[in-house]
Structure 1
Amino acid sequence: MQLELKRLARKHRIAPPPSVPTAPLPPVDGDWIFEGLAAPATIDSERTKFAAECWMPVRQNIPLLYRHGRLAGEVLEVRTTDKGLHVRALVRDNEAKQCTHFSVAATIHGYQLREVNNRESFHAVITCAALDEITLTNAPANPAAVVLHRYRQSAAVEFYDIVKRGIICAQGVVAALRVMNAAQVAPPQTVAGPDKRSACDLAGSRPTPVKAPTRPRPKTEFRTLVDAINATSGQVQ
């Protein structure tokens, strides 16, 4: 994609735009929360636009970096909106806390070139991308990727984030236990091997079956009448 954009720039005799860094923010102490559009759905200085709906499902643990280099903190939330990719991040690095803009690194899976014959407005629209990292910088590729909100992390916000991560961790543990329980099988049963004695030995070794004692059946009314008649007949004889 970048090679095709460079080819179009040479065709239209357009030089790459100069990078003009922004003035850093005043230094601050402690951990801070930064919010804003990391990838606005607008054309940047490199004539590239991330479509609002281009993002694949965002994986867990997206790194937050300072100028695409060292770790600057932690990404707390990433969500897609009709205006672009919105991010909320916890920033711990002192130099990163002075940055005014976001930027992203992504793996491009699909794009389209637009208005290739128009010298002023040719650009590439990214239609499918996987987010790899989010960075804080003062030299953004997209001037619209500005940090909209910056505030000190409060105890309430910290508690909310801890609880949220705890719930996610607990859900993972429950899912793992369900998988383990489903994978369990009944223990193997020991099957006795065939008896190697002869048929004669087996016949002689079998115990004599003992019949269970039989209980007398209760007399019915008819049987009682018959016994009474027989008894009377005996007395008459």
Structure 2
Amino acid sequence: MQLELKHLARKHRIAPPPCVPTAPLPPVDGDWIFEGLAAPATIDSERTKFAAECWMPVRQNIPLLYRHGRPAGEVLEVRTTDKGLHVRALVRDNEAKRCAHFSVAATIHGFQLRDVEDRERFHALVTCATLNEITLTDRPANPAAILRHRYRQSAAVEQWDIIKRGIVCAQGIVAALRVINAAQAVPPQTVAGPVKRSVCDLPRSRPTPVNAPTRPRPKTEFRTLVDAINATSGEVQ
């Protein structure tokens, strides 16, 4: 791809653009979070444009470097957007913390040459690429790959804690609403308790009338023997 771009540059008699360092940011102490587009979907100074959807799935532990050299920290997040490849990184290197631009190193798997007859607009459109590294630099290939946000790590941690507390609170509210909705959906049910009865309702034994006839008791074997003895003694007298 680079050879074909150089051929087109010679054809249109265009010299390579000069590399001019950008102004450094003020020095800061401690670890800082940097955010911005590492690969904007625009044409850079090398006549290359990374399409927004060109990136292969990003692997874990993408290195964060200072000017494609020494380690500068660690990459926290890489995501594709319609404007390009967005990066959030934790920067520890003091010189890297003064850089206002990102850059990338990538393996190109597919590209297309566009507007080859136009001296001002010819470029290579990258259609498929693998991200190899992200770097902080003061000599960006794409001036649009500028740092958008820079803040202390402690502030980032505090913001994340606030977000997590908000998520937990929202989950609690959702759970409470589900319980309320479930209670309203089920019709109320009455639980039968013990039946209370008045003393007047309890069964009572009826009193026996004074002149009521008594029912004879059935004779037992002992009673029959006693009656027989009494009858015999009467006859003897």
The TM-score, its normalising length taken from structure 2, stands at: 0.66
2-structure distance, mates of 1:15, 1:48: 15
Q: Retained in 1: the 8 A contact 2:102–2:136?
A: yes
In structure 2, distance between residues paired with 1:156 and 1:10: 48
Residue 157 of structure 1: how far off its partner (Å) = 1.6
Cα distance in 2 for residues equivalent to 1:126 and 1:40: 12
Instruction: Find the aligned partners of 2:158 and 2:71 in 1 and give their Cα distance.
Output: 19
Superposition deviation, residue 20 in structure 1 = 1.3
Q: Which runs of 5+ in 2 are unaligned?
A: 165-237
Q: TM-score, normalised by structure 1?
A: 0.66
Counterpart for residue 85 of structure 2: 85
* 1:14 shift after superposition: 0.5
- RMSD over aligned CA atoms reads 1.7
User: How far off its partner does 1:156 sit?
Assistant: 5.8
* Equivalent in the alignment of 1:190: none
Give the aligned residue type for 1:97: K
Question: Partners of 1:12 and 1:19 in 2: how far apart?
Answer: 20
Aligned ranges 1:1-237 → 2 under 5 Å: 1-154=1-154, 157=157
Over 3 Å counting, the alpha-carbon distance change for 1:17 and 1:96 in structure 2 is: same
Q: Kindly provide the amino acid, as one letter, of the partner of residue 57 in structure 2.
A: P
What is the identity, as a one-letter code, of the residue corresponding to 2:127?
A: T
Amino acid at match of 2:44: D
- How far is the alpha carbon of 1:155 from its aligned partner? 6.3
Distance across 2 between alignment mates of 1:32 and 1:82: 26
Shift of 1:120: 1.1
In the alignment, the residues of structure 1 paired with residue 101 and residue 24 of structure 2 have an alpha-carbon distance, to the nearest angstrom, of 10
Identity of aligned residues (%): 87
**Whole-Å separation in 2 of the counterparts to 1:95 and 1:55:** 29
The CA distance in 1 between the partners of 2:121 and 2:156, in whole Å, is 46
Q: Distance in 2 between matches of 1:108 and 1:158?
A: 39
Give me the whole-angstrom Cα distance separating, in 2, the residues matched to 1:109 and 1:37. 21
CA gap of 1:107–1:156, structure 2 versus 1, over 3 A, is closer
Task: Indicate the SS of the match to 2:150.
Answer: strand
SS at match of 1:130: strand
C-alpha distance in 2 between matches for 1:158 and 1:45: 38
Quote the Cα distance in structure 2 between the aligned partners of 1:21 and 1:122: 25
Deviations 1:80-118 (A, max 9, x none): 000000000000000000000000000000000001111
